Structures are given as C-alpha cells and as structure tokens.
Structure 1
Amino acid sequence: MTLALLALSACQPQDPEGKPAAPPADAPAASATATPATASGGMDIGQPITARGTEPFWAVEITNGVKFRLTRPDQPDLLAEAPGAAISPDGATWVAKGPNGEQLTISLKMAACSDGMSDLKYPMSAQVVLRNEVLKGCAAKTAELPREGG
C-alpha cells in the first residue's frame, strides 16, 4: 500500500519547490482548489478594487479578482493577469504577469490606511511590487473609494 501511494505521488506534477503544480489554464476549476472571493477579514475580491498611492503617484485597478491595470504618470499603463489570489486571514496577494512577462505582485491587507497627503481613510493597505520598485498605498472597493469633501 505504501509503495502504491509513493508511486502515485511521484506521478503528480510538481513545481521546482516540490509543491503540487498548478493545474493547466484550461483545466476545469475544482471547488476544493478554487480561490475564495472573500478573505476571512471580510475583503471581497470579487468586487472591483482600486489601490492608490502617492510619492510617486500610482493606481491599480483590480477587476474580477484576476485583471490588473497599473497606472503611473509619464509611463504607459501596465495590464496584467493572475490566475487568482493567495488568501490569508487578513488579506490577499496576487502574482500577475504582464504581456511581456513583467511580474506584478499586489498585496492587500485589511487594515485602516491613510494616503499620507489627505485625511481620507481607506479600509485596506496596499503594496505593489514591479521589478525592484515597491509602491505603498491604500485601497478600497472602487464603488466605496473615499472622496475629498464627501
């Protein structure tokens, strides 16, 4: 029996770290492996989310929990996609790829956040990593973004 289990596990695809490999992109989603739309902290990643920061100014729009648009002044927008998010008790992290293989890592945490330039309060903190650049800011559901004077 043990030998049979070893033989079966040896046939399972694995990534370079020895973990089970992700299923192919065209594989049907299994409910046991599907990414939940809500982190246990109450973050609903199925809704559009906008993250933004200052110094330097930037914004990331998250759509359908898998599509991303990074905008920054004087630079072209970067569109990227991720297969889903890694959900933790207090947030979510995506590793997205752009059309030229650029890796964009987006992390959102359920934590009160202020953008540092205004008195606006956001329900989430955000961090975006692109190449060697780390952008820090705040995030909210797009429909619930805080606005000055309102």
Structure 2
Amino acid sequence: MRAIVALPLTLAALLLAACNAQEAPGGSDAVPPADAPPPAAETPAAAEFKTDFGLRGTEPFWSVDIKGGEMTLTRPEPPAVKATGVTFAYIDGHGVWTGQADGKLMVATLTKGDCSDGMSDLKYPYVAEVKLGAETLKGCGFKAGEQPKEGE
C-alpha cells in the first residue's frame, strides 16, 4: 500500500522539478544571468590546470604523466603504474587528480609556484606531490609540451 501512495508523490515531485527547470524559447537550456558566478571548475585559476601535465622528481627518480583520464607513474625499475578512473578537482589553489592504481589510491597535487628539481638548473612553474598508497613523492611539474630545458 505504501508503494502505491509513494508513486504519485514521486511523480508529482518530478513534474514540479521539471516545471522549475529553466529553458530558453525553443526548448534549449537557458543562459545563466550575467551576474551568475562561474562554476568552481571554470574559474580562470582552475582553467590553468585543465590540461595535460608532466611531473618529475629525484631521489628516487620518478615521473608522472597526466594525460586525459589517466596518470602513469614511471620509475627506473619497471613496470610503470597506471591509474585509471582519474578525476580532477580544483581545491584551494591546487590542481588535484585522483585515481586507482594497482588497488591503491593515487593522488597527484600541483600548486603554482617556482620549483627546482635539486639536481639541475631547471626551473619549473609548479610544485608537485604524488601519493600512491602510503608513499609520498615530491617534485616539480610543467604543462605537457612546456618542459623546462637547460639554459632557460
């Protein structure tokens, strides 16, 4: 009996929600008001992180490539560790990518700021931290295709 009563209430709630949805003439989505704040992931600061990145670290040597929906951790000893189901979030000035790799949580965090790998004269535009399970790797980052080169 409860299911019969709940069904009309559920349908009424769905219809009410549909009535409140904003549509432009012709049925397309309505344009938000000019003074509406942009979604959090669309702020200029967050947009800076919406690209592919390379992260590098020393002692021990490691690299993480963030490309599309994947992160790949490579070290001198194989095999590489690939994280899948990678999601991106912009949190308090940091770009944060999270995924699963070999049953462990992999989290890569990038922060805008000068960084040195400690072994060369290269200057990187981002500070990087990668966590794989209980292990933490610290290093530097750059946008894909913009890796610093010696003498720059």
TM over 0.5: yes
Cα 1:52–1:37, aligned 2, differ >3 Å: closer, same or farther? farther
Q: Find 2:53's aligned residue among 49, 59, 73.
A: 49
The answer to whether the 8 A contact 1:39-1:91 is kept is no
Between the two proteins, the alignment pairs up a number of residues equal to: 115
Question: Secondary structure of 1:105's match?
Answer: strand
Q: Which one has the largest radius of gyration?
A: 2
Cα 1:81–1:35, aligned 2, differ >3 Å: closer, same or farther? farther
Counting aligned pairs with the same residue, the percent is 38
Which ranges of structure 1 fall in alignment gaps of 5 or more residues? 1-7, 9-33
Distance in 1 (CA, whole Å) between partners of 2:42 and 2:64 is 18
- 1:42 CA displacement: 5.7
Which ranges of structure 2 fall in alignment gaps of 5 or more residues? 1-9, 11-38
- 1:35 CA displacement: 7.6
Distance in 1 (CA, whole Å) between partners of 2:67 and 2:44 is 16
Give the structure 2 partner of residue 94 of structure 1. Answer: 97
Distance in 2 (CA, whole Å) between partners of 1:145 and 1:121 is 9
Q: CA RMSD in A?
A: 2.4
Cα 1:35–1:51, aligned 2, differ >3 Å: closer, same or farther? farther
Q: Find 1:139's aligned residue among 133, 138, 141.
A: 141
Q: Does 1:78 align with 2:61?
A: no
Alignment map for 1:1-150 (pairs within 5 Å) = 36=41, 40=45, 43-45=48-50, 47-64=51-68, 66-98=69-101, 100-150=102-152
Please, what TM-score do these two structures have when normalized by structure 1?
A: 0.67
Distance in 1 (CA, whole Å) between partners of 2:62 and 2:40 is 27
Distance in 1 (CA, whole Å) between partners of 2:47 and 2:125 is 10
Distance in 1 (CA, whole Å) between partners of 2:40 and 2:106 is 19
- 1:95 CA displacement: 1.8
- 1:43 CA displacement: 2.4
The answer to whether the 8 A contact 1:49-1:142 is kept is yes
